[in-house]
Amino acid sequence: MGGTAHGGLPPGWPGLRVRTRLGGGEVVFRAACDALMEWRMHRTMGVRVTADAPRAAPGVTVTVGLGVGALRVHGLCRVVWAAEEERRAGWAYGTLPGHPVRGEEAFVVERREDGSVWLTVSAYSRPHTRWTRALLPLVRVFQRAYAHRCGQVLRRLCRGGVPRGPEA
């Protein structure tokens, strides 16, 4: 695991990469980094996140819950890498046994030379359960929609450098 650390995806694994412009400038960059590293982007999206640390860091165990009621799907993951640099911050988690897919998903905020701030969501995965194999075309559509939604939500969270607040 850790294949997304340098922007690559392992050969032979189906992957996706979705980029979203969040805005520009240092204030937007810092707000986006904090919201990403502190799980706020995910929680604002309605994802139930239980983590054994307040910020993403290598080795942190994370349980994510997607869906509603009896249709909520839980996945156990572990952060495989994290970075907080001058112009880049992000992390990736790899799935653990019991997760409906096997693979890795990365979330990276970057401030480019022109000052623009971008979120890139990269992932590679294979189905791991009977139902994810049966519904694979829908799973892929959902994964891409989820990556786009991450960008929309993070853009809203960092618009104008929204100050940090309680968990959303």
pLDDT for residue 165: 43
pLDDT for residue 89: 96
pLDDT for residue 131: 58
pTM: 0.85
pLDDT for residue 39: 93
pLDDT for residue 164: 46
Residue 1's closest CA among 121, 118, 123, 90? 123
pLDDT for residue 126: 66
pLDDT < 70 stretches in the chain:
1-8, 14, 66-72, 99, 101, 126-129, 131-137, 139, 160-168
pLDDT for residue 46: 83
pLDDT for residue 129: 60
Q: Which residues contact 71 (CB under 8 A, 6 or more apart)?
A: none
pLDDT for residue 32: 96
pLDDT for residue 134: 67
Q: Which domains does the chain have, with CATH numbers?
A: 15-158 (3.30.530.20)
What span, in angstroms and rounded, lies between the C-alpha atoms of 78 and 117?
Answer: 26
Cβ atoms within 10 Å, residue 45: 16
